Structure formats: structure tokens, C-alpha cells
Structure 1
Amino acid sequence: MSPHDRWLLRTAHTVYAVRLEPGGRWAETAAWGPHGVETGPSPLPGDQHTHFLTPADAAPAEYIPYGLRPFTGADLTVRRPGGERGTWWEFAGARQDEEAALELEFADPVTGLRATLHYRVVPGTDVLLRWTVLANTGAEELHLEQLDSAAVNVPVTGAARLTYLTGQWAQEFTRTTLELARGRFEMGSTQGVPGHAYAPWLALQDAAEADGPATATWGVALQWPGSWHLTADAEPGGGLRVRAGRVPHEGAVALAPGAELRTPELACAFSPEGLDGLSRVWHRYERHLAGERLHRPRKVLYNSWEATGFDVDAAAQLELAEIAAELGVELFVVDDGWFTGRGDEKGGLGDWTADPAAFPDGFDAFIARIKALGMDFGLWVEPEAVSPASALHAEHPEWVYRIDGRPATLVREQLLLDLGRADVQDFVLATLDRLLTAHDISYLKWDMNRPPTERGRPGATEPGALDLDAAHAAGYLRVLDHLRTRHPHVTVEGCAGGGARVEHTTLARTDVVWPSDNTAPLDRLAIQYGYLHAHAPHTMSSWVTDAPGVFDPRPRSLAFRFVLASAGVLGIGADIRRWDAARRAEAASWVARYKDVRDVVHHGEARLLGSPADATCGVQYEEPGGRVVVAAWSTGRLDGAPLVPGRPARLRLRGLDPAAVYADQDTGTRYSGAHLLHAGLPLPWSATHDAELVVLVRL
């Protein structure tokens, strides 16, 4: 094969073109964008001669080792036992399956390292998956100090606009933007999970263009539930290069002779329709990940945590359940506090048996009472955690992460199990199997409330070969895969102190995730706005509670909270025993309304209308040729004064047929598509009306 050959990978609406450097030493991005962008000279930097830089340092390389690229950021750094760092490889062959999959192989004859760059189109989407397989065919152990998954090159003409999701606990998924003209931007996590501070997701645009429905937008998302990094370099040669990968806790991963390692997948996406269009690309991809499970309705749930905390007893839970059933709830979930030794957060984790004192008539009798009310039953679990005072820890102290001779750090009064150990995985599998087969449980909320701190495994036979972060991730995914296979009827919700572990490997194995512990209305609106840029509505669990604002304390109505929770997967977490009859009746009407539009919200095309910084914002969901659902909120003052005296607020919809006619399902008011697109949907906000869920039927 000629070193000048080029390969194309074609998604539903985009193309990704790869070429070899003329000397065959590395692969380069040739083009990435809509169909046809590959025809013509590449917009990315080519062979450049720059003082104090090698050609590789200025090239739009797809994946390149330190050695070939010594200055501007390599994707792979390999150290030999003697201390030498650097890899110099050559092209060793290509395999392509039409325009849907590609493998490019490079080999270093000195170290025996072989690197295979993998590309795979996800059918029916505009997502391309990339990863790398590293194999040691030599006679000595190699140490991988950096092992990224892939790099992508974005053809901006000057400065780049980066959009990413930031935050902290209770403030996850805050949409953040910066311009990068020169230099390096980096984010990541070393907490063993993606973390609350940054999501492993990035969108890229040309800063010279304003974001809008006709703006070219590229995006990447690293599919990895452990520690990670994502780096964007505005390079001296004028290119924007983004690389991402996992971060080994030990500083390097040992690759023994004959061994191979597969990096996490990097999902790459493009949309010509701005950030809003890119969000729909990610939503379609996540519907693909759900597979047949997408078509199982996400049931309206009630979770008892905010009502009862650790004080769980059957009588109080049944009182809540009876009210929840009257509201139309379909699933009742008992949260933390249901198991032995769990009177507070200091005990019980690891001893996963229902507390007989809390359920004096028996746990199964309690579940039967819930089922008799017409609801399914679910439980909260935290399989990776253990309490120091638990029977499990007394029996197996060696199962927790620890370093001999060093004190253990308690976070939330608990330790973390080393889920990379096969015996710990087997214990977790057996525990979950026992719960799900012995009791009529159809929902699990899997939580994780602390990161690893003292990351060690004393007594390991080969401590130099430990890769604890990857081992924990593999154990976590093994357990989730087992749940999917052994208990396919069980709905699984992912949670890690809120949104600390939300990424595609988790989303592919769970049904919903919990974006944040913050359920205050205006705080949650900002969290969900950012979340929907990267993730689909059918994955977003959201509760109606009475929680006051953490960051934005302005009060909002019960309607606001229900419309907000209905923008994803509706749940209720308030102490509904305290709600009066009028409040319960209003709640029941909102639950019924949500059930009516649930399929459109979860399966339709979503568009973000405005932002929480605007006085009016919303989300539009559209099923092809059918109904349009608009969730809208007033974020301004609640003094009854309209924004413009005598006029309602207007929210311009998008993507509708301007020649079609749409009727409001409740009022019968008719609008042309052109009117909704250009004049907007009228929303008469007042002191008592700050949210609406509008259903439009195409006539």
C-alpha cells in the first residue's frame, strides 16, 4: 500500500478522512465534517518546516509517540527498563471494512511495540469511535507512562471556542466557555471516577463564528469511568489538536512481553448546527447505546430519602407509598438506611441484609404491600463501599484500598472496596444476585459516595504490574454487565454522590443516571441545561422536592419543579406527607401530564431554547410528524410584572415545518409553523405562573 493512501470513514451525515504522512511514519487527519468536505485540499496544517520544531510537532497527527514528536505533545510515552524514553515506529499495514471501520498498524522494531489505531462508525449516528491497541512483541517489559486513546484535529481558522462542563458537588454540568488562541487547555480527574469538577466531554468551534444553527461544531467524549485527562493544544503551526485518555494512578502501566492493552474509546462527533445540533448527535448516540431498553418506559418514581433519611421503618415508608400511589407514582424506592447497622452513615455498608427491626413483618411482606398499591419496588445500594464497623470489614479488612503503615482516610465515614480484585467482584455479584432473586426488586440505585484515597493493594504478588484504576473500572463494568445479563428486568440508576460518574460506558449499562444531589429549582435548571448538551433526556433522572436553593435561592412554584423534572425522567423526592390536599391534587395532574408526553420527551429530537441566564428558556421535544412538547420556565422576578408591559414572553421554537399548522392540545389555539419559528410561542408569565408544559399537535 502506498504511504500516500487515504482512508474515509462515513457516518450518517459526516465524513472523517485519514491520510499517511508521506514518509509513512504517522497518520494524519485530512478532513472532518459534512459529506463532501473531503473533496479539496485539506484545511489542516500539512508538511511544515518550522525552526525549533520537527515536522511531526507541527503535523495534525492522529496518534503519535514521544520520540517522533518530542515537543508539542505526544499521545504515547514508552519507557524501557533501562530508562530510555521514546518510540520511533513505521507504518505496518491497514485493514478497512468499507467506510465503516479501519485499522492502521505501526511498529517499532527496537522495542517490539505494535500500535493499532482503531476506527469504527456507530451505525445510524454521526459518531465515530476511536481507540488504540498496544501490543508488546519484544523480549523486555515496557512501561507506558502516557497512553492516550486518540487525538483529533479541528480545522479552526484562528482562535478556538471551547465549551465544556464544569462544577463541583451540587453544581455539576455547568456550561463553561473559553477562547483558546495559543497554548494548552487541560481538564481531568484523578479521583478514580470522572468527578464532579469536569465532565469528559468537549465541544469545539471556530471562535470567529457565533454559535448558532449554522455553526460547524466538533465534539469528543471519553468513554471511561475512571481517572482521565483531556487536553486541547492551539499549536504553533496553526492547528487545534485534542487528545484524551485515561490516567494511570501508578504513573505508568507495565506491558509485559506478549501482553496487549486496549485504551478506552474516544467518541468523536460533528454537527453543522452549533452546540444545539451537536447535543442531538449525542442524544441519538445514547439512544443507540440503550438498544431495546430504550423502549421500556422510565417509570415515575418516588424516593424516600429526603422524607426519612436514615430513619427507615416499614410504617413510615408505607405511609409515603400510599400517598405516592395516589399521585400516580409507578415505582417506590427505599434509599439509604434499609439494612442492618445503618442508623447513621457510620455503619452497615457491606452488610446488605434488610434490618428486621425496620421491617418487623418481614422484608418480603413489606414489598408485597408496595406491590399491592400498584407500584414496583426499588432499593438504594452502594456496592463499592464498606463501613469500618461492618461485619464485612471485620471479616475481610484486606478488601479495602490501603497502604500498610499509613492511616486510612474516611470519606463520609466509609472506606472503598478494591473492586479490581476478583474476590471482591464475586462478593458484589453474589450480594446483588441474592437481593434480586430473593426479593421482588425491579430497580437498583447504585451509588458511590467517595473516591479512593490510599490507593494500594498490600500483598499483591506483582506490585509493579498493578494498574489499580483500570482494574477497578473493569470490575465495575463487569458487575454492571452481569446485572444486564442476569437480571434484564431490573432498571439500574447510576449515581456517584450526584453526577461524578456520568460517561458512556456507564450510560451503556444503566437506564438512568443521577446528575446531581441538588434538586433546588433554579440550581437544577442550570445543571440540567448543561447536562442536556452532552446527554439524552431519557438518561436524566430528576426529582421534585421541597429543597431550597443552594446557589440561587429564589423561590419557584410546584409547577416549575414538576416541569423541570419532566424534562427528563420524572421522580418525586419530597416529604409528601406534608403536602396538603391541593398540593397533592396538583402533583397528580402533573404526573398524569408527564405520562402523556413521556415518549416524546425520551424518544423525540430535543432542542435547547435559550439558557437559564435568559428570563425565559425551555426545551423543545419533537416526534417525527407528530407532537411537539415544550417545557418552558420563567427565571426572572416573581412580582407579577411581565417583562414587557402588556405582552407575554415569547419563546421561538426551532426545526418545525413553517407551512404546517400546530394546535395547542389543551387550549385549541392554532399556530403556523412560521409563527412559532419567527414570532414564538406566547407564555404569559405571572407571579403565580412561572412554568408550562405545552403540547402542540401537528394538524
Structure 2
Amino acid sequence: MTPYDRWTLRTENTSYTVRLSPDGPWAELDAWGPHGAEDGPSALDWSHRTHFITPADAAPAEYLPHGQRPFTGADLIAGRPGRERGVRWEFTGAQEGPGTLRLTFTDDLIGLRTTLCYAVVPGTDVLHRWTELTCTGTEELRLERFDSGAVNVPVTSGARLTYLTGQWSQEFQHTRLALTRGTFTMGSTQGTPGHAYAPWLAVQDLAADDAPAYGLALEWAGNWHITAEAEPGGAVRIRAGRVPHEGAVLLAPGATLTTPRLACAFSADGLDGLSRVWHRYERHLTGERLHRPRKVLYNSWEATGFDVDAAGQLELAKSAADMGVELFVVDDGWFTGRADDTAGLGDWYPDPAAFPDGFDRFVEDVRALGMDFGLWIEPEAVSPGSRLLAEHPDWAYRIDGRPSRLVRNQLLLDLGREDVQDFVLATLDRLLTEHRIDYLKWDMNRPPTERGRPGPVPAERLDLDAAHVHGYLRVLDHLRTAHPHVTVEGCAGGGGRVDHTTLARTDVVWPSDNTAPLDRLAIQYGFLHAHAPHVMSSWVTDAPGIFDPRPRSLAFRFVTAMCGVLGIGADLRTWSPRQRTEAAGWIARYKDVRDVIHHGEARLLGSPDDATCGVQYDGADGRTVVAALNTGRLDGAPLVPGRPARLRPRGLDPDARYRDEVSGTTYGGAHLLHYGLPFAWSADHDAELVVLSRHPARRPA
């Protein structure tokens, strides 16, 4: 082995080492963990003795094609149409740069060059991986599988998989699975990441609850899969990539297909530490926009539904402004023909009947109350009776000779078409330049069903899923460039399109349409394992629980919503003066601590399954914010007679003193770490926001 056969990439706190296998022309993972983990024999090394499988099938390979790894899961299945499938390549070179690595393998027989790409994300503990596939021959290639990469995790007694599951209104449910042998797979073919699974996975050794955690997130807003395989010999290997809607992609001579990036993360501090790695990474994705305050918003949907008119909206806006709300968002129902969900989509012009004095006058009346103005839109959707569809019937996905199926009484535009993209761009430009709009909520409520494109090119020769994703990203990139002042919220019937490509181009995302207090707490608990507080839009509403209907106070709803980006969606016309006064107090408290919540280091304290749980945020200014919530009994009876509930913070300085800014109580850091913060829960007191100021330790006399 030469010195060039092994490469190490270093993040802030971790290292990732790849080597060329001595057993064949492929790359293997040698070590992944804290700095120095690469110094010593590889924990992923194997016996090199195989029975009924090939050496490549047993190896901790970074990426292998079906021709060389035929039995235990290939990452690439390619071939020439009408001929045999299979690739057998040779290693042809490496390019190493600061924080980057490219390893190239070629198969001259079928004409394929495969380059494995690695890049460290500066200032984080995240490594990007992706693959570039180039057709170097004179015949096109058929790619049936083309994953972004494979990751091998050393375990001694099986793997604990942590992932996020759900359905509409119950997204991001924290789910665990013990995998000792066999295959686990999840994904989506709905044209978005979907509500059932998030494209995110954490892997730990089953041997310990707090074992170091390895994380993966696929950066793709379309069809995808993540597959974990507990292989013979005990290795656990995870493959991830996009899934073409047509079942395969044809690669023309000279063309290159670049797979989505696979973000790989590691933390020695278990799942809690891994969540902070992802939070830091998403702050990196946000970039300079991170320093723009996420304003407290009011959204009118739950108050008025489709019944939108200037007078009713202004009544809500005045109440919201009096409470300290900074942004007023008009949801669905503002445009022509939108009396219900059966019409109007695609014809994006304000309804003159709803705004008799003109839409601009209405917008200025809202702004005169001291608030910014925002608007909901669903640019990919079209209603059957719309003028848009009548003028451009070929713009919607459809299959010739087949009826078009309605989902939510609407069809889906083929955003992969450049003319459709241009229409969406022109629509958004018109709205954002003709009217003083500061906030745009982009919704997407309908997966593609009859996914075809009328025209001379057969559907099997089109990569419709990728085309739609690229069109979606092109529009978002244009919004960021042409309208940088506009805050963009990503939504897909709730949390159906939450991935890093979306998060890199939006300011916040909407995790779920379910705003009930205990339901939402469970959703946010899972969400914060994978995503940062500054991207999590959360509303206070009067919604009853769908899955957990136990009542909770207005304070509980506010403290839960303050764990991310605070919004209000209740019908304020039904709130009493006392409720409005209480709300104004919570909004003022939130504004005081939102920089800590959005920029600080977050720790999840317990879970919604515990009687007392919370989220802790540690700011750079020495302040610690703890959102504490009681999910247990509300009859006033403590768990232990005479004792308050306790919630232990973590990561505090045991030698420092911490002062509660509201009560004035002073705690020693060691006391808080050992005993925790006390909470006397009752039927009237089920949530609390504690703000601790750090002070130096007293010097002994």
C-alpha cells in the first residue's frame, strides 16, 4: 500500500478516513469518529474470508456497482439498454484538495466513469458525499439505481436506528428500531420527501443508550430512499439516494449525472449531540439570513378559512398589532375565484370583491398598524376550472388517453417544464413588485399521480422527478436573488417538504398543519432532533388535540410555540381581553429571548413521554433559556407529595451562579446540574419559561 492509498478528511471535531481496498478496485471506509480515530487498526476491518459471497459483498465499501457487489446491496445498477446489467471498474485516480477528495473509477467496456466526491462543510461536523456518473462511450447508459453514497457504521451488537415517521398532521414522530440482521428501508415516491418519513437517519450501537451517533440526511426535494442493511459478519451499511419516477434514467454519451448530496454527521455525545451538529449545519445553510430576526407572525387561516375580505382581515390585524405581532399573513382565499378549494388555483390575482378599495390599500392599512405583510401561495397547483389550465392544458401532469385524477380538487403543474417555471417566476415577480409583500408562504398540497408529459418524447426517456426538483429550486434561487428582502416559508401540507435543499433557500418551514398543544409538542420533539429552532415555524391556536386531546393552557401553547419561530393562528375575535393581555406578555418575553433560541445551542430535556420535559437554549451572551412543559397530570397533585417536579439542565458551568431573571432566585451551577429546576405544576400552571443569567462563581472568603 502506498501513502496515496489512504485519505483523511477533517471537520471541526471529527475525521473521516477512506482507503483503497487491498482486495479489489473499490474504496472502503477505514475510520469515522473523533479526531484521532484513524490512528490504529480499522474497526471496520473484516476477516477477508468469504463463503457464498464475494469479497466486495463483505467489504465496508463506500460505493460499488452491481457487477462487483452482486449479493448484499449495490449502490449503482447500470448497463447498456437491451444488454446485460453490470459494471466492473478500475481505479483511475484521486484528486485531493483542502477539505475535498475525488476518487475516480472507470469501466471502458460499457463506457462509464464514476467519481466519488467528498467535501467538508467549513465550521461544522458535516461531510458531504455525492457521486458523478459520466457516459464515456458511444452508446447511452441505462441507470436503474444511482445512490449518492453508502456509509458503514461499526457496531458490536447490532444497530439502533432512530428516524422520523408519521402522516399528515402527525409528522416527525421520533421512532426507534433495533436492527441486528436484515434490511430496513424508508423513502417517498410522492415527488417530495413526504409526510411518512423524513430523509434523515441516526445510527448508534445497541450496546449503550448514549452511544456515539452517526447521522445521514439526503439533500433532495423529490423521490428518495434510505436503506440500512445489517450484513453478514455484523456490519451495518446505509445506502441513500434519489429514486427516479420512471424506474431508470438514460444517460447520453458525454453527459454527466450528479447525484444529490448526502450529508454525513457524527457526534460522540449521542443523539443530543448529533442534533446540535445538525442545528449548526442548518445555521450554516441559512448564512447571512440567520441574522435577520424571525418576526412574530399572525396567520389568518384558522380564523377565516376561505372567507377572506378586507374588513375581516383588518379586524384581525388590529387585534394582532395590539398584542405586539410584527407580521400579518393572509392565507388561502385572497385571489379570484377562491370561495372554496375547488377553484382559483393558478389565477393569482387579488379578488376585487374581497378588497373593494383595492388590494394595495388593504396592504397599506395593515402596514400602517406597524406590521409587515405576507401572503400564502401554492405556485405548483392548478384548479381544473382555472383560466391558466384552459389556456395551457398541457402544463399539468397527465398521461395521454388517461383521465386526470383530482387530489384536493386540484392538479399539479409540471414544474420541470421551462415555460411553467417562467410562468411561476413571472407570477411571483409581479406579486412581489406590484405589492409591498415582505413574507411569502409557499405551500404544496398535492403529490403527482398521473405523472406524464404530453409531447413527442416518451415518458421513459424523461427524468420527470429530477426536472421538477430542479425547477422548484430554480424558482427559489430566483426569489433569494431578485427579492432578498422577502422572508420565504416552505410548506407542503405541513411538513411534507422538509429537506436541506429547501432549508438552504427558505427562512422557515412549517412542520405540520396540526397545531394542537400536545400533538405539536411530539412533532417538535422529533423535528428538533434533525432541524434547527430558527427554521421551525410554530403557532399558538385554539385547536383541540387530534391524537392527544388533553386540554392545556394558553401558556402551554405559547411556551411550546416559542421553542421555534413564534406565530399565532387563533381567531383573536373570540379571545377575551384577559387572553389578549396574557398573549401580549408572552410575545414580549419571546422577543427578549428569541436571539438565544434561534442562535444558541439547544438541548432536549426529556421527551413528551415524561411528565415534565423541555428544551434548553444556551446563548453566547451567557443567558440560558429553558422552556419547561408539564405533560402529566393537571389535578395539582405532585408526583411525590410535597415536592415539586424537577427538570435537569445540561452543559452548565458547575462553578458558576445562575440567576432566574423573573423570580430572582439564584442557583449554583452544580445545584442545577444535580437537582434541576423546580416546577410546582397545577391545573392553572402547566408551562413556564425560565431565563437564567450566568454570573461568575463567588470566590471563597
TM-score class, shorter: over 0.9
Report SS of the residue matched to 2:148.
strand
1:111 maps to 110
Question: Which residue of the other structure, out of 524, 527, 536, is the alignment partner of 1:528?
Answer: 524
**1:289 is aligned with what amino acid?**
L
2:360 aligned partner:
364
- Equivalent residues in 2 for 1:509-588 (5 A)? 509-588=505-584
2:184 matched residue in structure 1 = 185
Secondary structure, in 3 states, of the residue corresponding to 2:334? coil
Contact persistence 1:3–1:20 (CA under 8 A): no
Bigger mean CA offset, 497-506 vs 403-412: 403-412
Aligned position for 2:169: 170
Name the SS for the 1:19 alignment partner: strand
Deviation at residue 461 of structure 1 after TM alignment: 3.1
How many equivalent residue pairs? 695
Q: Deviations over 1:478-517 (max 9, x none)?
A: 0000000000000000000000000100000000000000
Give 1:283-322 correspondences, 5 Å limit: 283-322=279-318
Q: Which residue of 2 aligns with 1:82?
A: 82
How far residue 448 of structure 1 moved from its aligned partner, in angstroms, is 0.3
C-alpha distance in 2, partners of 1:2/1:464? 45
Structure 1: how far apart are the matches of 2:297 and 2:671? 37
Unaligned runs of 5+ in 1: none
Deviation at 1:111, TM superposition (A): 1.1
1:72 aligns with 2:72: yes
Task: Give a deviation string over 1:113-161, Cα, whole Å, max 9, x none.
Answer: 0011100000000000000000001010100000100000001112100
Q: Deviations over 1:621-647 (max 9, x none)?
A: 001351000001000111111121111
Q: Equivalent residues in 2 for 1:275-286 (5 A)? A: 275-286=271-282
The separation in 2 between residues aligned to 1:92 and 1:272, in whole angstroms, is 35
Alignment of 1:17 onto 2:17: yes
Aligned to 1:640: 636
Q: In the TM superposition, what are the counterparts of 1:253-264 in structure 2 within 5 Å?
A: 253-264=249-260
Matched residue SS, 1:692: strand
**CA deviation digits over 1:245-281, x for unaligned, max 9?**
0000000000000100000000000000010000000
How far the C-alpha of 1:238 sits from its partner, in A, is: 1.8
CA distance in 2, matches of 1:63, 1:47: 20
Q: What secondary structure sits across from 1:220 in the alignment?
A: strand
Where does residue 196 of structure 1 map in the other structure?
Answer: 195
- 1:215-294 to structure 2, matched below 5 A, reads 215-294=211-290
Q: Distance in 2 between matches of 1:271 and 1:199?
A: 20
For the residue of structure 2 that corresponds to 1:344, the secondary structure is coil
Check if 1:434 corresponds to 2:401. no
> Are positions 1:504 and 2:503 aligned together?
no
> Which structure 2 residues correspond to residues 27-66 of structure 1 after superposition, within 5 A?
27-46=27-46, 48-66=48-66
Structure 2 counterpart of 1:682, one-letter code: P
User: Match of 2:500, as an amino acid?
Assistant: H
> Aligned partner of 2:134: which letter?
A
1:352 matched residue in structure 2: 348
CA distance in 2, matches of 1:177, 1:345: 38
CA–CA distance in structure 1, aligned partners of residues 458 and 635 of structure 2: 67
SS class of match (1:617): strand
Residue of structure 1 in register with 2:699 after alignment: none
Shift of 1:65: 0.3
Alignment partner of 2:365: what SS?
helix
One-letter amino acid matched to 1:333? V
Residue 207 of structure 1 aligns with an amino acid whose one-letter code is L
> Conserved in 2, the CA contact under 8 Å of 1:45 and 1:238?
no
Partner of 1:126: 125
Question: Is residue 180–residue 234 contact of structure 2 (8 Å, CA) maintained in 1?
Answer: no
Q: Distance in 1 between matches of 2:83 and 2:509?
A: 44
Offset at 1:24? 5.0
Tell whether the 8 Å contact from 1:3 to 1:22 is kept in structure 2 after alignment. Answer: no
**Partners in 2 of 1:256 and 1:2 — Cα distance?**
36
Matches of 1:407 and 1:139, distance apart in 2:
39
Distance 2:655 2:289 in 1: 36
The letter for the 2-side match of 1:280 is R
Give 1:64 shift: 0.5
Distance in 1, Cα, partners of 2:4 & 2:284: 35
- Matched residue, 1:629: 625
2: CA distance between counterparts of 1:47 and 1:637? 55
- Provide Cα deviations, 1:159-185, integer angstroms capped at 9, x if missing partner: 100000000000000000010000000
Q: CA contact under 8 A between 1:616 and 1:651: conserved in structure 2? A: yes
Mapped to 2, the partners of 1:565 and 1:23 lie a distance apart of: 54
| 1:456 maps to amino acid | G
Q: Secondary structure at the match of 1:530?
A: helix
1:74 aligned partner, one-letter code: A
CA separation in 2, counterparts of 1:461 and 1:209?
54
Structure 2 counterparts to residues 83-102 of structure 1, below 5 A? 83-98=83-98, 100-102=99-101
Q: Distance in 2 between matches of 1:83 and 1:167?
A: 41
CA contact (8 A) 1:448 1:496 kept: yes
Listed one character per residue, the Cα deviations across residues 337-364 of structure 1 (whole Å, up to 9, x for unaligned) are 0000000000000000000000000000
Q: What letter matches 2:198 in structure 1?
A: A
1:674 aligns to what?
670
State the TM-score, normalizing by the size of structure 1. 0.99
Q: State the secondary structure of the residue aligned to 1:205.
A: strand
Amino acid in structure 2 at the alignment position of 1:193: T
Contact 1:95 1:102 in 2 (8 A): yes
For 2:2 and 2:14, the matched residues in 1 are separated by 26
CA apart distance, 1:464: 3.8
On the 8 A contact 2:23/2:55 being kept in 1, the answer is no
Deviation (angstroms), 1:2: 4.1
SS of the counterpart of 1:440?
coil
- Check conservation: 2:538, 2:565, Cα contact below 8 A: yes
The residue type equivalent to 1:415 in the other structure is: L
CA shift, 1:23, in A, is 4.8
- Matches of 1:539 and 1:158, distance apart in 2: 36
Q: Which moved more, 1:549-558 or 1:39-48?
A: 39-48
| Whole-angstrom distance in 2 between the partners of 1:528 and 1:33 | 28
Q: Report deviation, 1:50.
A: 1.4
Letter in 1 for 2:70: P
**Contact 2:111 / 2:136 at 8 angstroms: preserved in 1?**
yes
**Partner of residue 606 from structure 1, selected from 583, 602, 606:** 602
Q: Distance in 2 between matches of 1:498 and 1:688?
A: 31
Instruction: Compute the displacement of 1:460 (Å).
Output: 4.0
Q: Classify the secondary structure of the residue corresponding to 1:77.
A: strand
Paired position in structure 1 for 2:698 = none
| Distance in 2 (alpha carbons) for counterparts of 1:465 and 1:140 | 15
Partner Cα separation in structure 1 for residue 478 and residue 47 of structure 2: 49
CA distance in 1, matches of 2:607, 2:561: 16
Measured after TM superposition, the shift of residue 4 of structure 1 is 6.8
**Which amino acid is 2:450 matched to?**
E
Counterpart CA distance in 1 for 2:472 and 2:48 is 45
1:394 aligns with 2:393: no
Which residue type is aligned with residue 185 of structure 2?
A: E
Q: What code does the residue aligned with 1:204 have?
A: V
Q: Deviations over 1:406-433 (max 9, x none)?
A: 1111111000000000000000000000
The CA deviation at 1:81 is 1.8
Alignment CA distance shift 1:349-1:636 (3 Å)? same
Q: Which deviations, in whole Å up to 9, do the C-alpha atoms of 1:90-123 show, x marking residues without a partner? A: 111001113x110000000101100111000000
- Separation of aligned partners in 1, 2:263 and 2:660: 39
Deviations along 1:202-224, whole A, 9 cap, x unmatched? 0000001113xxx2110000000
Please give the per-residue CA displacement for 1:290-331, whole angstroms capped at 9, x wherever unaligned. Answer: 000000000000000000000000000000000000010000
* Superposed displacement of residue 465, structure 1: 2.3
Residue type at the aligned position of 1:167: G
Separation in 1, partners of 2:175, 2:469: 28
Aligned to 1:207: 206
Q: Distance in 2 between matches of 1:246 and 1:568?
A: 30
